[in-house]
Chain A
Amino acid sequence: MNLPDDLKYTKDHEWCRIKGNRAAVGITDHAQDQLGDIVYVELPEVGDAVKKGESFGVVESTKAVSELFSPVSGKVVEVNDPLSDAPETINEDPYEEGWMIQVEFADAKEPDALMDAAAYRKYLEEESE
């Protein structure tokens, strides 16, 4: 399972990459693997507000719908629009090309509560038991 060290993780299997007061958000390798072939993605628009732990969109595989939960609270400043035409990018490259939104967050401490790669790895192991 690919878990980059520079990312933060949630129990809902989202990741975020923090740069200053911005967080790029996507779903983890584990999440895309569990979902299977992703065929549809619904994302918010630039300017929308997102809240930590609340749904900001959905990804759908042939078989299932899965909600996306924001790791941080803030404002959407960028959306990876090409994903709507090529949702399979999320399967192929979940941590780079498969990013979903960029959030400008207000509370600088908020990301501290998220798991690092080691903690998320441990969480996955416990979850699979």
Chain B
Amino acid sequence: MAQRTPLYDVHVRAGGRIVEFAGWQMPVQYEGILAEHAAVRERVGLFDVSHMGEVVFRGPKALEALQRVFTNDLARCADGQAQYGCLCREEGGIVDDVVVYRRAADDLLVCVNAANRQKDFEWLHGHAFGADVANESDAWSQLALQGPRAAEVLQRLTSVRLSAVGTYRFTNGDVAGVTCLLARTGYTGEDGFELFSASEQGPKLWAALMEAGRAEGIRPCGLGARDSLRLEMAYRLYGSDMDDGTTPLEAGLSWVVKLDKGDFIGRQAMQKQKEAGLSRKLVGFTLTEPGIPRHGHAVLQDGKPVGSVTSGTKSPSLGTSIGLAYVPPGLAAEGSTFAVDIRGRAAAAKVVKTPFYAKKK
């Protein structure tokens, strides 16, 4: 039986089309993916992301312990700052990609992917290195308010001075009378906030935000728009673009792997991989012929399969077909060309710089 977030009834009442995703019954769309996508790019949209999990590291060993399972460097992350990175296996394969919210050196909240809640908790608990590791996933509701008007809408509901909360920074505060961890983070490429609150407060917070954003034309947004928005930014999706069999280096996430920070699980394997050179790289591409690339389509060079598409869609903002694919290093440079096997037809593709979409200034 698939799980439901505290917002489930709210979604059904709002006309959300419920689908099963990663063991969760979630709205894939309300009004339509394109309308919701546009609302976030142009105004503001609200997502229920309560299916995401929260694992908390506490105690005097918390920071040191998390450093040993996390690829990025939390010593360079201040209290009140969030940091993106990966959890890796000894061989370098990605257990999950996560955002760590450093509340204090002895209190760090790890936001994990919905599908990996249990796996991550077991992994982290099994590598606790003396920290107190708790799975608080069921205790939290998480809403993402995203879009250029998000701050304006949120400011109406809180006394926290939002202009003082920088990107990837967070603070505690009340929003519409609900105690929240209020973070300037997101998965859309737009300005916005993610609000962590007690699970049962989720519906109240949702209603308050929808009301506060009425004049801006706020829209409830589903997983469909979440996916198209993140793909335009080339943000990786665990389970599609990477998994236990790929390393952060292959996935193009070397910027969150700090090999010189001290030892962590997977460091040696990645050090070796870096020295030996990669056999494949995740790149962004656009199709230069008609068609839409999809997860699992083969990448062809001279008619032979040499790689694989991991994500693809027709970009709602750009109107072009975009995707991410693992290709041999020789095809990874910007401007390289290959073909994508779309149901037996070879559609020409070109490697481009990512993000695909540049935020409007």
Contact = CB atoms under 8 A, between A and B. Distances in A.
Interface of A: 36-37, 39-40, 42, 58, 60-63, 65, 84
A36 B32 CA distance: 6
A39 B292 CA distance: 9
B13 interface: no
B34 A62 contact: yes
Interface of B: 17, 28-29, 32-34, 37, 224, 227-228, 290-292, 294, 313-314, 316, 343
B298 to A, nearest CB: 15
Contacts of A65: 292, 294
Main secondary structure of the interface of B (DSSP, over half): mixed
Given A39-B292, A40-B291, A40-B292, A61 B343 contact: no
B343 A37 contact: no
B314 A39 contact: yes
Nearest to A41: B290
B314 A62 contact: yes
A63 B291 contact: no
A62 B343 contact: no
Closest A-B pairs by Cβ, 4 of them: A62-B33, A37-B34, A39-B314, A63-B224
Given A40-B314, A62-B313, 13 more contacts: A36-B29, A36-B33, A37-B32, A37-B34, A42-B290, A58-B343, A61-B33, A62-B33, A62-B34, A63-B28, A63-B313, A65-B292, A84-B290
Nearest to A34: B17
B224 A62 contact: yes
A58 B290 CA distance: 13
A31 to B, nearest CB: 14
Contact of B314 (A36, A42, A60): A60
22 contacts: A36-B17, A36-B29, A36-B224, A37-B32, A37-B33, A37-B34, A39-B316, A40-B290, A40-B291, A42-B290, A60-B292, A61-B33, A62-B34, A62-B37, A62-B224, A62-B313, A62-B314, A63-B28, A63-B227, A63-B228, A65-B292, A84-B290
A78 B294 CA distance: 29
A43 to B, nearest CB: 11
A115 B12 CA distance: 32
Contacts of A63: 28, 33, 224, 227-228, 313
Nearest to B227: A63
A62 B313 CA distance: 6
A95 B28 CA distance: 26
Contacts of B29: 36
